[in-house]
Structure 1
């Protein structure tokens, strides 16, 4: 009960200024629209001119993890090359299924990593977010 009264009083105090309270992300976007884009320094900037600012984020963690799974699967094939292609009994089918599972997990990591592009365009006053796979 005390928490709800305190919350209500704080909301009334915030609206007393006549302006609704804004989120930090909205304030950040407004600052980006007003300031000069050429002053922004970031390693993920791909395009920075008077009208357009483009960020691009790469999912390095997912790609490295997927590559590790796939390379680990190839290493298992390399180490067991003499025995893996000689199908001796039905008991070894679990080994083949496990090897196929490791390849599937590795390619799932590679496929799930999406490159995210965020574009601020001053001409059209738009914010565009694009996501795409590497395949």
Structure 2
């Protein structure tokens, strides 16, 4: 397999995982809402387990946004700096076709840290949801 194909496969997989994390996070919040009483006039009754689930799911969605904010900000700054350096070096206005090397690895560490943390938060949120659902099952 060519590196290019391997890279494309993990880009596609990580994109799909991020999309699924978003959808499952929102669905999980809806499940928490339903388990807590939904449209009762007395308000929402979150027990400790459902509160933990809701916090984890909201955290997963927050980490998802932070992953993209981090990636956008760090790469925007890096590209602008490299663009300025190339313009000074080559005395040209358009330097879009110039090679600038790889981005610093610390940028990618942040992206992957947010990626794995959001998935762990989502899994933990669903752990709490299933825990609550199974505690409500009465087999007698």
**TM-score (normalised: structure 1):** 0.36
More strand by share: 1
More helix by share: 2
Larger radius of gyration: 1
Higher relative contact order, chain-length normalized (CA < 8 Å, sep 6+): 2
